[in-house]
């Protein structure tokens, strides 16, 4: 699991446990899938913005507007 995805998973209420052999277990008892999905999309759009693909980010913002969308446009 990518560290960013794991962090977003935990932010959405998921729990990750790693045993002594390195096996990873995920638990979703208090997990909010809508929050997780929105967070993953927001991270992807922010990555587009950070790398100068503002047209793609703007298109996604216009096509799929959500209250959680906040983009930080870097100085280019």
Query: Which of the four pLDDT bands, split at 50, 70 and 90, describes residue 28?
Result: very high
Rounded to whole angstroms, what are the CA distances from 23 to 20, 44, 46?
A: 7, 27, 31
List the chain domain ranges. Answer: 3-63
What pLDDT score was predicted for residue 67?
Answer: 58
For the four alpha carbons of 60, 48, 46 and 10, in that order, the dihedral sign comes to positive
The 10s digit of each residue's pLDDT in 35-72 is 998 888 888 888 888 888 888 888 776 776 665 566 66
Over residues 13-42, the mean pLDDT reads 92
């Amino acid at each position: 699991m990518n560290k960013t995805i794991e962090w977003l998973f935990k932010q959405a209420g998921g729990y990750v446990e790693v045993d002594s052999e390195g096996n990873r277990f995920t638990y979703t008892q208090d997990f909010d899938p809508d929050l997780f999905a929105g967070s993953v999309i927001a991270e992807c759009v922010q990555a587009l913005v950070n790398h100068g693909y503002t047209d793609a980010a703007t298109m996604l913002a216009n096509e799929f507007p959500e209250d959680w969308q906040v983009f930080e446009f870097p100085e280019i």
